[in-house]
């Protein structure tokens, strides 16, 4: 019976790595192939998925007890990702200003045209309060989708950990 827990834990860790990598893949693909420009908060929202991939791989190499700890940390990471997404959704809804100075659209004043052109960023940025919609005709921004995905991801891990708590030696 105890040997059966290890494959289940390993499967959840592998699924967690795949789920986090898939979320990153969708973000990068929408940027590269759809031409969507991420804002500064969008880029911050990718970090929990990177951390989740790393925690998942580390958890796969650890013994069962420590693997469960890595999985619990992964769930906390996804909850932190959901919190960042909530901040982003609030900025999009103009409920509060962005905590990042990079989120404001650049303003140029004074100086010559050459000086203004020289001070422009290399890569165009997008203000964080301008929502990006991945699916046409569906009024759910990518930040809101990220929040939902992160919450479901963390919730599924918590359910797995809660169900398996009584079977530990």
**pLDDT tens sequence across 84-121:** 999 999 999 999 998 888 776 555 566 677 666 565 55
pLDDT at 103: 74
C-alpha 87: how far from chain center: 12
**Residue 111 backbone phi and psi in degrees, to 5:** 80, 175
What pLDDT sits at residue 4?
42
Query: Length of the chain in residues, anyone?
Result: 169
Distance CA 150, CA 147 (A): 5
* Lowest-confidence region among 7-11, 41-45, 58-62: 7-11
Question: Where in the chain are the domains?
Answer: 2-164
Per-residue confidence band for 5, with pLDDT thresholds at 50, 70 and 90: very low
What pTM does this model have?
Answer: 0.82
Non-local CB neighbours of 153 within 8 Å, separated by 6+ positions: 16, 19, 20, 52, 75, 78
* CA pair distance 78, 4, nearest whole angstrom: 26
Just give the CATH number of 2-164: 1.20.1550.10
């Amino acid at each position: 019976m105890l040997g059966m827990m290890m494959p289940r834990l390993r499967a959840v860790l592998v699924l967690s790595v795949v789920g986090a990598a898939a979320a990153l893949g969708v973000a990068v693909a929408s940027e590269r192939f759809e031409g969507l420009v991420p804002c500064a908060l969008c880029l911050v929202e990718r970090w929990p998925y990177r951390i989740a991939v790393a925690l998942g791989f580390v958890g796969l190499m650890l013994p069962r007890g420590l693997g469960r700890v890595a999985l619990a940390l992964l769930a906390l990471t996804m909850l932190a990702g959901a919190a960042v997404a909530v901040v982003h959704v609030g900025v999009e809804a103009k409920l509060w200003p962005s905590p990042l100075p990079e989120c404001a659209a650049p303003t140029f004043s004074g100086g010559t045209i050459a000086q203004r052109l020289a001070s422009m960023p290399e890569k165009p940025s997008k203000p964080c309060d301008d929502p990006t919609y991945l699916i046409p005709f569906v009024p759910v921004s990518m930040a809101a989708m990220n929040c939902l995905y992160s919450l479901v991801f963390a919730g599924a891990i918590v359910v797995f950990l809660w169900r398996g708590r009584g079977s530990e030696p």
